Amino acid sequence: MNSFLHVQDIGDLKQALTEAREIKADRFKYQHLGNNKTLLMIFFNNSLRTRLSTQKAAMNLGMNVIVLDVNAGAWKLETERGVIMDGDKSEHLLEAIPVMASYCDIIGIRSFAGLSDRDYDYAETVYNQFLKYSGKPIFAMETATVHPLQAFADLLTIEEHKTVRRPKVVLTWAPHCRALPQAVPNSFAEWMLEASKLEDGVDFIITHPQGYELDPRFTEGATIEYDQQKALEGADFVYAKNWSCPGVTVPEDYGKIILNHESAEGRSWTIDAEHMAVTNNGKFMHCLPVRRGLIVTDDVIEGANSLVIPEAANREISATVVIKRILESLQ
Ligand code: CP
C-alpha cells in the first residue's frame, strides 16, 4: 500500500476486519515488521487520539517514530506554488517534503481543510504534494476531505457491538459553534456504504438539514432522510457529527455554518435522550473531541449505550493494520 485515503485502499473489507481482530487479540504479533523503520507523523493541526493511537500502533509494529508539529517549532510552511514568499512563511513545502522524507520510511499526514477554497480542499492538494514529492508511502491522519483511520475504527466498533446481523446505522448532523470540515462524515459514509455491500454489513442512512448534502463521491447510493426523527427510528447505531456546508447545492456556502447552533431549529438536532428513545436501544457514537450540549447531552454520552471510548481505543487497531500493510509492501 503506497497511499491510504479511501476505503478502496484497504482492499477487501472483510479481510481488513479479520486482520483488525487478529491484531486486537495480539497487537505485538507483527513487531518484527518495523525493525529499523521510521514513521514520521506530520501535524498541521491539533490532535489527541490520532497522535497517541498512531504512535502506539507504530510502536506495536517495532518502529521508530518522529512527530513533527508544523505549527510548534518548525518553519512556517508555504503550500501554494507561484507565490512570492515575502510573508511569514519561511520554507516551501516542496523543499520541506523531500527533506522530511529523507529521515523516514513512512509518512502520516494531518492537514485539515482550509474551508475557503473547495477545489483546493477537495483536490487533496497538501496530501497529494506529499505523495508526489516524498517518494515514500503516505497515509491520512485526517486530511482535507477524509479521515479513514477513524472510519475503519468506527466500522470495527460497530462490528464488535452489533446485536443484529445487519444493523441500521444513522449518520446524523448535529449543531456546532464553529465551522468544521467534512472529513469525518465523508469517510464514515464511504466506509459504511462499502460495508453495506456485505451480506452481514449495515443499512446506512444519513440525516442532516437541507443544504448540508455531502459530496456525492462519498455518499453515492446512500439514503438521505431530512427528517431526523424519522431517520433515527429503529437505529442500532447513531453516529453524530457536525460538518460545515459542503457547498454541493450552493457552492458559495462552502465551509460556512448555514444553520446556527443557537437557533431553535439548530438545537433540535442535538442528540439527547428523547432522540435516542426512538432508536432500537441504539448505541451512540462520535469520533471525539465532542462539544457537550451542542452535539450530544451529558446523559447520552455518559450512558451505558455510549461507545465513544471503545471507538477511540480502536484507533490503535485501525492504525496498526494500516501501518502493517504499508510495512509489508516495503519488505
Ligand atoms: N478523532 C480524532 O481524530 O481525534 P483527534 O483530533 O484528537 O486526533
Beta bridge partners of 306: 284
Cis before 289? omega within 30? yes
CB atoms closer than 10 angstroms to residue 268: 14
CA of 241 to the centre of ligand 1 (A): 13
Q: Looking at the whole model, is its pTM more than 0.85? A: yes
CA of 286 to the centre of ligand 1 (A): 10
CA of 94 to the centre of ligand 1 (A): 27
Atom number of ligand 1 nearest to Cα 110: 8
Counting ligand 1 atoms within 8 A of each CB, the residue from 52, 288, 311, 318 with the most, and so the one to mutate, is 288
Give pLDDT, residue 80. Answer: 86
Atom number of ligand 1 nearest to Cα 53: 8
Counting ligand 1 atoms within 8 A of each CB, the residue from 47, 54, 188, 311 with the most, and so the one to mutate, is 47
CB atoms closer than 10 angstroms to residue 89: 15
Residue spans per domain, the chain: 3-146+312-330, 150-311
Tell the residue nearest (CA) to atom 7 of ligand 1.
48
CA of 153 to the centre of ligand 1 (A): 12
Do residues 319 and 57 touch, judged by C-beta distance below 8 A?
A: yes
> Could you tell me where the beta strands, DSSP code E, fall in the chain?
3-4, 38-43, 64-69, 77-78, 91-92, 106-110, 138-140, 168-173, 203-207, 223-224, 237-241, 283-285
Query: Which H/E stretch holds residue 133?
Result: helix 125-134
Counting ligand 1 atoms within 8 A of each CB, the residue from 147, 287, 291 with the most, and so the one to mutate, is 287
Pocket of ligand 1 (CB under 6 A): 47-50, 142, 150, 287-289
Do residues 154 and 239 touch, judged by C-beta distance below 8 A?
A: yes
Q: Which CATH number fits domain 3-146+312-330: 3.80.30.10, 3.40.50.1370, 3.40.50.720, 3.40.50.10490?
A: 3.40.50.1370
Do residues 229 and 278 touch, judged by C-beta distance below 8 A?
A: yes
Give pLDDT, residue 186. Answer: 98
Counting ligand 1 atoms within 8 A of each CB, the residue from 41, 42, 48 with the most, and so the one to mutate, is 48
Distance (Å, whole) CA 252 – CA 18: 43
Atom number of ligand 1 nearest to Cα 141: 3
Do residues 75 and 90 touch, judged by C-beta distance below 8 A?
A: yes
Per-residue pLDDT 10s for the chain (331 aa) are: 999 999 999 999 999 999 999 999 999 999 999 999 999 999 999 999 999 999 999 999 999 999 999 988 889 999 888 999 999 999 999 999 999 999 999 999 999 999 999 999 999 999 999 999 999 999 999 999 999 999 999 999 999 999 999 999 999 999 999 999 999 999 999 999 999 999 999 999 999 999 999 999 999 999 999 999 999 999 999 999 999 999 999 999 999 999 999 999 999 999 999 999 999 999 999 999 999 999 999 999 999 999 999 999 999 999 999 999 999 999 8
CA of 83 to the centre of ligand 1 (A): 32
Overall CATH class of domain 150-311: alpha beta
Query: Which H/E stretch holds residue 316?
Result: helix 308-330
One-letter amino acid for residue 289 of the chain: P
CB atoms closer than 10 angstroms to residue 229: 12
Tell the residue nearest (CA) to atom 6 of ligand 1.
47
Distance (Å, whole) CA 164 – CA 34: 38
Q: What is the DSSP string of 178-203?
A: S---SHHHHHHHHHHHHHTTSTT--E
Q: Which residues, 6+ apart, have CB-to-CB distance to 124 below 8 Å?
A: 5, 143, 144, 145, 146
Query: Whose grid coordinates read 471507538?
Result: 311
Atom number of ligand 1 nearest to Cα 50: 8
Give pLDDT, residue 161. Answer: 98
Query: Which H/E stretch holds residue 322?
Result: helix 308-330
Angle between helices 125-134 and 93-101 (to 10 degrees): 50
Question: Is 150-311 in the same CATH topology as 3-146+312-330?
Answer: yes
Atom number of ligand 1 nearest to Cα 287: 1
